[in-house]
Structures are given as C-alpha cells and as structure tokens.
Structure 1
Amino acid sequence: MATNRFYALFFCVFAIVCLLGCGKKNKSLSVEQNSTKTELKYAKGFSVQKNATFTVIEVTSPWPSSDNNFKYALVPKEKLATITFPRDAYDAIVPTPVEHVVLTSTTHIPSLEALGVVNTIIGFPSTDFISSPAARKRIENGQIKELGTNENINTEIAMALQPDVVIGFGINDTNKAYEAIKKSGIPVAYNGDWVEQTPLGKAEWIKFFAPFFQKETLADSLFHTIEKGYLNAKQLAQKSQKKPTVLTGGLYKDVWYVAGGKSWMAQFLQDANTDYLWANTDHKGSIGLSLEVVLDKAQKADYWLNPSMHITYKELQSANAHHQQFEAFKQQRVFSNAIKKGAKGGLLFYELAPQRPDLVLKDLIAIMHPLLLPDYEPHFFMPLE
C-alpha cells in the first residue's frame, strides 16, 4: 500500500510539473514552429519571425565579434495577458505598437522618421548629435529629453520617462545603465545596424524597427524603393568606360586611416565603378598607414574622399604641408561628407546615410562620373571650399 501511494503521489507531482512547465514550453515552441520568417536579402545581423500571436526578433550581431544572441518577443497589447512565456525564453517582452521609445544612436532616427513614428521618441543621449529637423523640433519643444551619453546614460531620467522600450547601441555587453534600466522592468533591445558591412544591409534594418510599431508592410515598401534606387544607380555607373582612382581618409595623430577593402565605404566605391586603391585588402574597418605609404600609393589618385574632418583646402594645407603633393589636392578633387551638419553640429552623413545608401551612391557617381548625372544635387559629399 505504501508503495502504491508513493507511485500515485509521484504521478500527481509529475503531472503538475508537466502542466506548469512542459505545457508552457511546448506552447512557445509550437508558436515559433508555426511562424513565417521575414525575407531579409542583405542584412545578416538579425531575423524576424511572425506568427498569429506575436513576433520574434533575434539579433545575432549586436556588436562586432559578438558571441551573444538576443531574442525579443513583440506582443500586441491586446494579446499580452493571454500568453504565458517560459522563464528566460526571451531577453525582453515588448508590448506593441510602441508608443514611447528611447533611442541611443542617430542611425535609429531616419528609420522611425520614414515609418512616420518620430513622435514616439521621448529620450536620447547627446541630443546635439541629432540632425533630423523633425526630431530637433521635438527636442526644442521638450518632447525628447537629454539623457547624457550612451556610455553613461542618466538612468533616473530614462526610467522616469517610462518608455515602452529602449533601443540600445553598444560595442559590448558591459553597459551598466542598460542593466539598471532592465532591472526596473523597462525592456532593452539591442540594435546592430552599424555592424553590417554592406550599404543595403544597413538600410534593411528598417525591418528591425517596423515590428515594434506594427509597420511591417510600410517598411517593406520603403526598403524596396531604396533597393531599387540603389541598384538602378549601380547599373548606371557601369555605363562609364573610365574607372577613376580613389583615395580615402586622412591623418589622425600621424596615422592615416583609409577604408578597408571589405568595408561599407569600399562597397560604395566598387558599386560606383571606381578603382579604389585599397579594394583588395581584407579589412572590414579602417587601415592605419603612414603618410609615406599613402603618398607612394595614392599621390596620383584622381579623387580623395573624407580627409579627416577638414572641410577647406586651407585647413588641409595647414594640417600638413605634404597634403599639397596629392594630385587630387592640386586639381581640387577632394570631397568630404563632414560639411553638411545639423543645427547643433551633428553630421548628416552618419545619421541618414546608412538608411539612404541610394543617395550616397548617386553622390559618388555624380562626383566620379559627372556626365552620367549632370544635374544632380549632392546630399552628403561636398567639395572642399
């Protein structure tokens, strides 16, 4: 009898555990198994899976060489109370559509503006970097609060704002402010758009933002337009019989940093049908070189892009007299993306260019192959004064 009672008790406990634990787990698995995956043609750092109940976003490259993946469940507010998630199954549960958001990188702003939800932004670190006129108006009206810096966010202000989500930007997972915000119950979702190495890959991150606001259809349409514009411009560039040689970058503390051959900028220059002098290198970021090495390789380059932060030939000459030895300097074919600034000095290029690679490519084509776009007005790259 004791043995029978033991087995009966064991069976009851087992059944309860299955109902409370196994049932939740199976429910979550079945939901994800019945989901449809959003098509991503270029972006490598995230995925989106949507089902009848909620959407799962997984970020696999929040920063370079990351070993961490992050999964976020985006749940319509009216369905939130009906779903039970397994403990620790997701890094954040975010009710949608998001009505109040804190952003942490200027590259996030153009996507929200394109989706028509810039009015949801309520906080940002280092607001002076923002160039968007629509966002600046909200800052001036006190609708976007200053939060300090991304490395040292004022958590008291951020938490007092009670955003539905904080879209985080980080170079690693050691941001203590994000941890404090998460502990207060506010979801934090990492965005890794800056890690993408291709122009269209960066732009496709608009599909990361869209599910937070239930704007997936609009995001697909917007990206399709950008993609079409970019590919058409790339095809136009191939009509030029000449491939001008190009030098990039400039000196910083006696080291000249040029764009690596696998970098974002190198891809633009390839698609613009140019001969980028460091195209055959394997670097995804910049390459540090001496002035002597750069002079030897690029003294006769047809064009020179982004000479550090210098925006006039006088500045360039004053910074280092050797700059005058470059043919591009002599022929006044030096162009910079640091000339167009926002109202508080933020660089428009670093905010908008990742979202609008079609405009970047057209700028470069108009510079390198002026006969192909004779009446084009540049958006980012301007000649030095």
Structure 2
Amino acid sequence: MAALAIGLAVAGCDALPPTPSRATIAGGREIAMPHARTFRVVARDGYRIVDLKASVVGWGGAALGEEQFQRLVLVPHGVPAPALTGDLAGATLIHTPVQRIASNAVFHEAITKVLGINDRLVAVGGVKSWDDAVRARVRSGALRQIGYGWHSPPQLDALVAAQPDVLLMTMGDLRSVGAKPRIESLGIAVVPIFLDNEPDYLGRIDYVRLIGMLAGHEAQADAFAAMVTRNVAALKAAAAAQPTRNVLSAWFAGGDRWNPTVRNADAKLLRDANGRNLFAKPDDPTRDSFQSVTTEQLIARGRDADCWILRDTHSARFTDLSVLRRFRAYRDGCLFAADGMTKPDADAFDLYETAVIRPDLILGDLVRMLHPRLRDQPFRYIRPDTTVPR
C-alpha cells in the first residue's frame, strides 16, 4: 500500500490541479462568520463557496513561505455541480454532507464530537485523543493513524487506505504545504484548517460552523457557537466590573529562555479577563502568539505581575528561588499552571482538544485566577500551581 500511494503521488505531480483563483466571487450572498478572519463563505445557486487563506507560522516564530489560499465549493448531494471555471477555476469540489472524515489534529476531534459525527471519522493523527472511545478505536485498528500535523505531513499509505471524503488538515510546517497537492492528486479533498491563525479566539468557534456545513449539521454548530458566545459575554462583563490586574503568562523553556504570551488569541483571552498583559504586543496573524525572552527581560517587565501562569505542558522545571522571589506573583502566591484535564497514561491533554473550541472555559479560569471574588467554580484547565518550591 505504501508503494502504491507513493507511486500515485509521484504520478499525480505531473498533473496537479491548477492553483485556485483568488478572483472576487461573482454574485451570491455572504454567510456571516462574525469572528473568523481566515475564511469566508458565500452562498450561490444552491451551493457554498468557501475561501480560506492564512500563513503557515513556525512554532514561536513568523510566517513560513507564501500565504496559503484554498477555494472550496460545497455542493449538496442532488444539486448539480457547477463547472469549475471562471471564479471557480482551480477550486476543490466537495459533495455534502461528507460521510468519511480524516483528521490530523486532536482539536478536529473535539469539533466532530460536539457536532455528533465522531462515527464519521475514518483516520486521525494517532493515539493521543482525549476521547476514550476514539482512542480505543485507534488502538483497535478501526481508525487509521495518519500522524499529527504539528509533527509531519499525513502518512499517505494510511490516508489512502482510510478512503476519506475529506481531510481536515492542520499544517504545521512547509513540508505539510508541499504534501497537500500530492494528497489532492490522490482524489482526497483537503480542507485546510487555519484555526491557529485566528487573532480572535472566537474565530475558532466559526470553524465549528464551517465543519458543520461540511457535515450537514449546521443547526448543531450554530447552537454551539451561540452558547460559547453567550458564556464569553457574561464572563467579560463580570471581569470588567473588577479592578484590572497585571498578568504574566510565560513558561520556562530551559537554559535562560522563557516564552511569554504576547499577541493574538491567547493574549486576547488575557485582555478579556481584565488582565493587563505586561508583555503585550500588537496582534499579528503572521507571527506566533508567544516569543522567546531571557530571564533578565522577564524580570524587567514581569516583576509586577499580580498573577503568573508559570507552567504549561511544555515547560521545563524552574526552581531558582532567587529569581522567583523577585516576582510579586510568587511572593503573593498567585502562581498558576495550564496543565489541567490530563490523562497521563494516554499522554492526552484536553487543553489541546476540547479547550481549543471552548474558549469560554479557558476565559473562566483566567477570570477566576485574576479576580478572587469571582471564584464561584473550580478551576478546569488553568489551576493553582502546587509544584513551585517555597
């Protein structure tokens, strides 16, 4: 099977589909996606046109290569498919609702779960699913393993064997970008997922609505988006009534390097919790949400933080008390860790699955962290750090 897939991929390189046109869509009615900036949807003649565009951003760095663009044409079964000419030249035709879905990121699985279509998954990244049922299907061989998008491009032999209608594809590097036309040449429609590029965390919720369109579960997706949006509005209002507090979110990378959150969706969560991010920078979807700084820089700008998210699942252990004592958050005991909802035996972290599309849950933790008067519920993903030496 591997040899067959590679052979097909190489053969397909001689007749790759044309580059999708970025021409303005002629006519139609735009379907509102209030928060998304990486895609738009236009309804026309009984089908939908979806334009997705974003940069592939290196981890902790800047955009890699050229901005990526994809035009999809979503045509319901029974509706005549339009000719892929004119403003549809080079677009990818997808008949909806799709029934067989491949995914290369765990948060895609969170989306399919809230839409009630996990039974349509035929391939996933691997065995790190938070969902026990999905993980059991992977381990039994019922679901193919194609590899996670933050590590490598999908494994072609496993992907072809799964026979998906579509691949929901998160692209972590340029190797994945290069693999995309090969996958398409095998007859698999690729739906790029640029969720991480959304500067507003609510833009992630619009991706639930997009996949709801693909699956024919728009009502469920719309209801989910409305629920999350209501929760966010209530949390923002409660936080805004409290005094603004200084906040630092920076994890230790080892050596003399720290990674503070500075921009985009993660920084907006801190702002909406009525926190003053001491490392804030302007939003920029062509750069990652964090940057690397030295310990000296961290002390100079972060010493007056009232609360500090000191650890996450990537962090190296930091035990230098002479440094920690220079921070108000340490002295006042307001140190937190973004390491809740873990299944160590499965190496599964719900922070990277459900929490991606439930920013209201993350925002709730941040509001309770910064504003003790609002601690009316337990912490979920971001919780007091009990591992720091005193």
Which TM class, normalised by the smaller chain length? 0.7 to 0.9
1:287 pairs with 2:314:
no
The correspondence for 1:234, drawn from 224, 231, 236, is 236
1:143 pairs with 2:142:
yes
Q: Is the 8 A contact 2:252 2:318 kept in 1?
A: no
Structure 1 pair 210–278 and aligned structure 2 pair: CA distance change class (3 A): same
Map of 2:12 onto structure 1: none
- SS of match in other structure, 1:70: strand
Q: Deviations over 1:114-140 (max 9, x none)?
A: 111111111122x23321334324324
Map of 1:276 onto structure 2: 277
- SS of match in other structure, 1:235: helix
Equivalents in 2 of 1:297, 1:172: separation in Å?
Answer: 32
Q: What TM-score results when the alignment is normalised by the length of structure 2? A: 0.81
Q: How does 1:195-274 map to 2 (within 5 A)?
A: 195-240=197-242, 242-252=243-253, 253-260=255-262, 262-274=263-275
Equivalents in 2 of 1:167, 1:310: separation in Å?
Answer: 25
- Which amino acid is the alignment partner of residue 102 of structure 2? V
- SS of match in other structure, 1:78: coil
Map of 2:38 onto structure 1: 45
Map of 1:24 onto structure 2: none
The correspondence for 2:50, drawn from 42, 54, 57, is 57
Range that drifts further, 161-170 or 143-152: 143-152
Structure 1 pair 306–350 and aligned structure 2 pair: CA distance change class (3 A): farther
Equivalents in 2 of 1:34, 1:250: separation in Å?
Answer: 48
Q: What TM-score results when the alignment is normalised by the length of structure 1? A: 0.82
Map of 2:160 onto structure 1: 159
Equivalents in 1 of 2:314, 2:105: separation in Å?
Answer: 24
TM-aligned CA deviation for residue 171 of structure 1: 3.9
Q: Is the 8 A contact 1:309 1:338 kept in 2?
A: yes
Equivalents in 2 of 1:233, 1:200: separation in Å?
Answer: 14
Q: Once superposed, what is the RMSD of the aligned Cα atoms?
A: 2.6
The correspondence for 2:360, drawn from 358, 361, 375, is 358
Structure 1 pair 246–104 and aligned structure 2 pair: CA distance change class (3 A): same
Q: Is the 8 A contact 2:127 2:138 kept in 1?
A: no
Equivalents in 2 of 1:75, 1:281: separation in Å?
Answer: 39
- SS of match in other structure, 1:317: coil
In the alignment, structure 1 segments of 5+ residues that lack a partner are 1-28
Map of 2:100 onto structure 1: 100
Q: Deviations over 1:39-61 (max 9, x none)?
A: 01111000112234322111022
- Which amino acid is the alignment partner of residue 56 of structure 1? I
- SS of match in other structure, 1:79: coil
Q: Is the 8 A contact 1:55 1:73 kept in 2?
A: yes
Equivalents in 1 of 2:342, 2:127: separation in Å?
Answer: 11
- SS of match in other structure, 1:379: coil
Q: Deviations over 1:348-383 (max 9, x none)?
A: 112222211111111111111121242x02221121
Q: May I ask how many residue pairs the two structures share in their alignment?
A: 347
Equivalents in 1 of 2:75, 2:213: separation in Å?
Answer: 9
Equivalents in 1 of 2:55, 2:170: separation in Å?
Answer: 8
Map of 1:113 onto structure 2: 113
Equivalents in 1 of 2:73, 2:282: separation in Å?
Answer: 40
- Which amino acid is the alignment partner of residue 138 of structure 2? I
Equivalents in 2 of 1:321, 1:340: separation in Å?
Answer: 31
Q: Is the 8 A contact 2:258 2:298 kept in 1?
A: yes
Q: Is the 8 A contact 1:310 1:316 kept in 2?
A: no
TM-aligned CA deviation for residue 208 of structure 1: 1.8
Q: Deviations over 1:139-178 (max 9, x none)?
A: 2443322123431422111101110011111145543443
1:180 pairs with 2:182:
yes
1:332 pairs with 2:325:
no
Map of 1:70 onto structure 2: 70
Computing the radius of gyration from Cα coordinates, the structure with the larger value is 1
In the alignment, structure 2 segments of 5+ residues that lack a partner are 1-22, 58-62
Map of 1:20 onto structure 2: none
TM-aligned CA deviation for residue 67 of structure 1: 2.8
Q: Deviations over 1:201-248 (max 9, x none)?
A: 2222112211111122322221111111101110011111x2222111
- SS of match in other structure, 2:379: coil
Structure 1 pair 282–140 and aligned structure 2 pair: CA distance change class (3 A): closer
Map of 1:303 onto structure 2: 307
Equivalents in 2 of 1:94, 1:341: separation in Å?
Answer: 36
Q: Is the 8 A contact 1:46 1:208 kept in 2?
A: no
Map of 1:323 onto structure 2: 324
Equivalents in 2 of 1:308, 1:164: separation in Å?
Answer: 36
User: Whose helix fraction is larger, Structure 1's or Structure 2's?
Assistant: 1
- SS of match in other structure, 1:153: coil
